[in-house]
Structure 1
Amino acid sequence: MHLSALALASLPADIVTPIYDRRHHAPGVVHLGLGAFHRAHQAMVFDQLLAGGDTRWGIHGVGMTRPDLVNQLKTQDGLYAVRVADGQGVKWQVPGALWRTNVATTERDAVVQAIAAPSTRWVTLTVTEKGYMPNLAQLLLDGLRLRQQAGLSGITIASCDNLQGNGHKLQALVKAAAAPQDSEVLSWLDAQCAFPCSMVDRIVPAATPEVLAAAHEALGVKDHCALSTEGFWEWVIEDRFADPADAALLQSAGVRVTADVHSYEEAKLRMLNGSHTAMALMGAVTGRPFIASCIGVPHIREFVFRLMGHEVAPHLSRSDWADYRTALIARFGNPYLKHSVHQIATDSSQKIPQRWPPSVLGQIAQGATFEHHALAAAVFVRYTLGVDEQGQTYNLNDPQAQSLMALGAAQRTTPEACVRTLLAREDLWGSALPQDAAWTARVKHWHQHILQHGVDHAVQQLTGT
C-alpha cells in the first residue's frame, strides 16, 4: 500500500497528518521548483497556516524539469512524509499543502494559467541560483499579463533562492522580459505586485533509500517521496507584500518579517553556505561521504569554526553571528541528515562567487588574514582533478565541468600555472581578487601542500590541531 489521501486514516497516531479539507479549495500559492527543499520548508509553513484554518495557502507545485517526481507525487495525492530529526529526537510528519502539480517544460500553459488564476495570491520560487534565466522571467510575465488583462489584483512573488537581493533580481529579470507593448502590465506590476527579498535556511538532503525505508517502517505504507530534514528552520522575508495583512499571518507561523533581510542573507551565504562548500570540497577530495563525516573530524571542525569567526564574521551585520555559528556547528553534525558532499559540491562554480570573495576582500581591506579561504580555494583547485586521495574518481556536476576538469588535469605537471589560471577567472572571483598577488601566493602555497601531503595535513597545519 502506498501513501495517499485514502491511506492517511490508517497511519499511526503519532504521525502528524493534515486535518484540513484538501479537496474543495483552489490553491493560493504557485510554487516554481518542486524539489526537496521547498517540500520540507515553505510547504510546511503553509501547511501550518492551513492547519490553523486559513484555506488560502494550498500549493500548486511546479516541477521545472522533472516529470518523474511530479508523477510520483501525483500518485500519492501530493502527500509525502518528512522525518524531522535532531538532538531533540525524531518525529514524522505528512504535510498536506501540496494540492496540484505540473511540469513547466511539458505543461507550460497550465503553469501560466495557474499564475493567472483568481485564487492565486502568491508565487514562490526555489529554482536554484542558475535557474534565473529569461525563460523563467517569460513564464512569470505571461501569467502576470493574463492577471492584469483579467482585471485581477496583484500578487506577492517571493524568491526563496540563495541570491543576495533575490527579490530585486527577480523583479528586474521579469521587467527585462517585457516587450514594448507590455507598458500597461509593467505599470500594474509596479503598482500592485510585490517582490520581497527573502532568506530561507534548512538543511534538506536529497532523499536516500535509507530515508524511504525508514518512512515505510514509521508509516506502515510505502512513500517514494519521503524526505529527511533537521528541526531548525528559518525564513526571513522583507515586509513587502501585495496584501500587507500577510505579514502578521506569516509571523504567526514562525516566519521573521523584517525590513532588513540583507544581514540575514549575507550571514547565511557566507557562514552556512560558504562553510558547506568548503567542507563539501574537502569531503570529496578526502573521500568522506557526508557533511557530518567532515565536521566530526576535530581539525575540520576547528577550521570551520575559525573560518566563520575570524574571516567571515568581521564583515557581517548580523549581530547574533556567534550564536548562529554555534547552531551551525551543531546542525552540520546532525547524524540523521546524511548530507552528501558531492550534492553540496554541485555547481560550485556558480556558488563560490557569492560565498567566498566578499569575506576575502573584507579581510584584505583590513589587512587581516585570509588563510582559511585560501586553503578552501586550494581544495577547490584540487577538487577539479576528479579523483579523491584514495584514487576513486568522481564527476564534477557543474556547468563549468569541462573547462574546470581540463584545467585540473594540468595540476600534476604544472600546478602553479593551474592555480594562476583558475584564480584569474573573474566569473569565479570577481575583478579585484585576481589582481591580488598575496591571495594568489597563499592559494598556491596551500595547493602545493595539499598535492604533497593531502588535505587533512594542510588543515591540521593551519589550525594547529
Structure 2
Amino acid sequence: MSITRVQAAPRQGRIAIVHLGLGAFHRAHQAVYLERYRRRTGDVDWGVSSANLRASVDLVDALRDAGYRYHVAEYADSKTLTLREIGVIEESLFSGRDAEGDWGRDLEALLARMVVPETRIVTLTVTEKGYFLNPASGELLVDDPMIAADIADPSRPRTAPGILVEALARRREAGVPPFTVLSCDNMPDNGKRTRNAVIKLAERRDTVLSNWIEHEVAFPCSMVDRIVPAMTKADFARLAELGIEDPNAVIGEAFAQWVVEDHFPQGRPDWAADGVEMVADVAPFETMKLRMLNGSHSLLAYLGAPQGIETVFEAVSRDDLTALLRRYMLEEAAPTLAMPEGTDLAAYADSLLGRFANDSLRHRLHQIAMDGSQKLPQRWLSGALARREAGQASPCAALGLAAWIRYTAGRDHAGTAYEVDDPLAPRFAECHARHGRDPEALVSAFLAMDDVVPPALAADAVFAEAVLTAYRSLTEEGLDGALATLAGRSA
C-alpha cells in the first residue's frame, strides 16, 4: 500500500470559528480544509471550537485528552492512503444531555465563546433533524418538546437554533457585530432554511431581536461532499496495523468537495487555494448532489439493507443495482437539474458510481437509512414532484419510496428485527401495526404523511399506483423480482 503521512500544523489556541456538531463528518471535512489552510499559509487566526450537541460526552473528552489532535485516513482505494493528522480544533465542548439526564455541561462556555468578537463564523453539522424543521414545508416545529423547551427557557437552549438565537441575542446586547452562520448539512437552501429556523424561533422571544437577525446576520448556503462512514472496531483495527492508535480517528474517501456562497461580513479564511469553491449561487451544486449522490445512496439503503446487503460497495457490486442507479440518475434526477453551462451530468454520474465502488470504504446501508423522513423530501420527492408537474413519471423514485415503507417495518426479508432510527419511528410502527396486512391501506397511510410526502405528489394517482405496485413486488417477489419488473418496464 502507498501511504502518505501529513503532520498537523502547530496548534496556537486562537479561535475564530465555532462549530456545532462534533461528529465524524465535521472532523473529516471542514476541519481538514482548515488544517490544509493553516499548513499552507501559517495563518493561525482560524482555529475551531467544536461542540457536541448529542447525548454522548465521550468524544468531547477523548479529543480533549488527546490534546485536540486526531487522524483522518483518506482512501483513494485499497492501495492508496493519505494519513492526515488534524490539529485545527483548539477546543471541544459538550452541551447535550449527560448520562444522568442533565443538560448543557459546557453550555455557558459555548455561549461565551460564541459571544466574543473574535468568533466570526459559526458552522453546523447537526443533520437535517437538528434544525427542527418540517421536512416538506420547512416550517419550524414549534410543538417539538426540544423547541418548546427553548421557547420556555431561551437562556438555557438545547437545540442548535436555540443556541444560535441565544448567542446572537447576547452579542446584540453587548454591541458585538453578529457572526456568520454557515450550515454544512445536506439540505436544499441550507443557509435559507437555517435562517428561517433561527428567525422563527427568535420571533417567539422578541420581535426586535428577530428583525435584527433578519437584517444583520448572514446565512450563506453551502454544499458539502465526502463519504465518511461510521467507524467500526474493524476500522480502528485496520488503522492500528498502520501504527495509528487513535480513538478519535476517522476514515473517509479521498474525494472531498465544499462549495460555499461567498457572503461573510466578518471575514473568512482565504481558503480557495485549499479546494473550497467560493461561488455566488450554491443551489445548482447542492441540488445536484442531493438528488444524484444522496438519492442514489438512499435507493441502495432501503433496497439493500433488508436484503442483507451490508455496505454500499457490496450493493454496487451487483450489476442490477448499478443499472438502477444509472437509470435513476440520468433519467429521473439529471433532467430536473438546472446546472451551469458545461456541467456534464453523465460524467458526474460515472464519477459517483466509481466512488461508490471504492472497496476500502465500509459505508453501512443502515447508517445511510437513518432519518429517512427528514431526507427523502429533498433526495427523491422534490424531483419526482417536478417531473409530475412536467407530465413525467418517476418509477425509480416510486420504487425507492416503496422500499422505504418496507424498511420502516423494522424487519429484514429473513424476519430479523433491526432498529428504525428516525424521528417518526413511532408513527411508522403504528401504521405497520394497523395496516401491515393491507398493502393498499399501508401505502396510502404513508403517502398521507404530508410532513414527508408533498401533498401534490401524494394526490397523483399515477405515482401512488407506482408506489403500491412496487411495494407489492418487493414484498411478494423480493428485491430481484422488483428490479426485474422495473427493468422489464423500461425494455
**What is the TM-score of this pair, normalised by structure 2?**
0.86
Residue 278 of structure 2 aligns to a residue whose secondary structure is strand
Q: Secondary structure at the match of 2:480?
A: helix
Q: Residue 36 of structure 1 aligns to which amino acid in structure 2?
A: A
Taking the aligned partners of 1:148 and 1:256, their CA distance within structure 2 comes to 31
SS class of match (1:335): coil
CA distance in 2, matches of 1:417, 1:137: 37
RMSD of the alignment, in Å? Answer: 2.1
Amino acid at match of 2:289: K
Deviation at 1:137, TM superposition (A): 2.3
Corresponding position of 2:60? 70
Q: Secondary structure at the match of 1:15?
A: strand
1:371 aligns to 2:395 (yes or no): yes
Judging changes above 3 Å, is the alpha-carbon distance between structure 1 residues 178 and 424 closer, same or farther for their aligned structure 2 residues? closer
User: Is 1:40 the equivalent of 2:28?
Assistant: yes
Q: How far 1:353 sits from its partner (Å)?
A: 1.6
Instruction: Give the corresponding residue for 1:281.
Output: 302
Cα distance change, pair 184–51 in 1 and its aligned pair in 2 (3 A): farther
Of residues 265, 280, 284, the one that matches 1:263 is 284
Q: After alignment, is 199-208 or 316-325 more displaced?
A: 316-325
Compute the displacement of 1:453 (Å).
1.0
How far is 1:181 from its partner? 8.3
Higher alpha-carbon deviation: 35-44 or 415-424? 415-424
Match of 2:116 in 1: 117
Structure 1 position 438 matched with structure 2 position 462: yes
| Structure 1 partner of 2:129 | 130
AA matched with 1:16 = V
Change (3 A) 1:180 1:264: closer
Distance in 1 of aligned mates of 2:416 and 2:324: 25
CA distance in 2, matches of 1:61, 1:295: 35
For residues 197 and 406 of structure 2, the distance between their equivalents in structure 1, rounded to whole angstroms, comes to 35
User: Counterpart of 1:60?
Assistant: 49
Indicate how the Cα distance of structure 1 residues 321 and 147 shifts in structure 2: closer, same or farther if over 3 A, else same.
same
Identity %: 36
Q: How does 1:311-350 map to 2 (within 5 A)?
A: 311-318=332-339, 319-350=343-374
Residue range with higher mean Cα deviation, 383-392 or 276-285: 383-392
Quick one: structure 1 residues 210 and 264, their matched pair in 2 at CA, closer, same or farther if it must change by over 3 Å? same
Q: What is the aligned residue count?
A: 448
**8 Å CA contact retained: 2:9, 2:35:** no
Instruction: Give yes or no for the alignment of 1:356 onto 2:374.
Output: no
Q: Distance in 1 between matches of 2:34 and 2:169?
A: 26
Q: Does the residue aligned with 1:205 lie in a helix, a strand or coil?
A: coil
One-letter code aligned to 1:459: L
Amino acid at match of 2:22: L
- C-alpha distance in structure 2 between counterparts of 1:191 and 1:55, whole Å: 31
| Structure 1 SS opposite 2:361 | coil
Sort the Cα spacing of 1:111 and 1:292 in 2 relative to 1 into closer, same or farther, 3 A.
Answer: same
Distance 2:248 2:447 in 1: 41
2:428 is matched with 404
1:111–1:462: structure 2 CA closer, same or farther, 3 Å change rule?
Answer: same
* 302, 312, 322: which one aligns with 2:323: 302
**Secondary structure of 2:64's partner?**
helix
Contact 1:285 1:455 in 2 (8 A): no
CA–CA distance in 2 between the matches of 1:141 and 1:382?
39
Letter of the structure 1 residue corresponding to residue 328 of structure 2: L
Q: Report the counterpart of residue 380 of structure 1 in structure 2.
A: 404
- Equivalent AA in structure 1 for residue 126 of structure 2: V
Instruction: State the secondary structure of the residue aligned to 1:222.
Output: coil
Paired residue secondary structure (2:202): coil
2:95 corresponds to: 104
Amino acid aligned to 2:83: W
2: CA distance, partners of 1:366 / 1:397: 34
C-alpha spacing 1:380/1:178, structure 2 compared with 1 (3 Å): closer
1:278 shift after superposition: 1.2
Pair 178,376 (structure 1): closer, same or farther in 2 beyond 3 Å? closer
Q: 1:126 to 1:180 in 2, by over 3 A?
A: closer
Q: Distance in 2 between matches of 1:361 and 1:192?
A: 35
Contact 1:33 1:63 in 2 (8 A): yes
Q: What do the CA deviations read for 1:86-136 (whole angstroms, capped 9, x no partner)?
A: 247112111111110111132111110010123212110000111114432
Q: Residue 391 of structure 1 is aligned with which of 415, 421, 435? A: 415
Deviates more, 1:178-187 or 1:414-423: 178-187
Gap runs ≥5 in structure 2: 97-104, 133-146, 148-158
1:49 aligned to which of 17, 29, 37: 37
Structure 1 stretch displaced more, 189-198 or 222-231: 189-198
Q: Match of 1:262, as an amino acid?
A: A
The equivalent of 1:16 in structure 2 is 6
Q: Secondary structure at the match of 2:455?
A: coil
Do structure 1's residue 240 and structure 2's residue 263 form an aligned pair?
yes
TM norm structure 1: 0.91
Shift, 1:445, TM fit: 1.1
Q: Measure how far apart 1:415 and its partner are.
A: 1.5
Equivalent position amino acid for 1:81 in 2: H
Could you tell which deviates more after superposition, 85-94 or 230-239? 85-94
Corresponding residue for 1:227? 250
User: Which residue does the alignment assign to 1:423?
Assistant: 447
* Secondary structure, aligned partner of 2:383: helix
Contact 2:224 2:259 in 1 (8 A): yes
Would the aligned equivalents of 1:384 and 1:407 in 2 still touch at CA under 8 Å? no
* Partner residue of 1:31 out of 7, 19, 26: 19
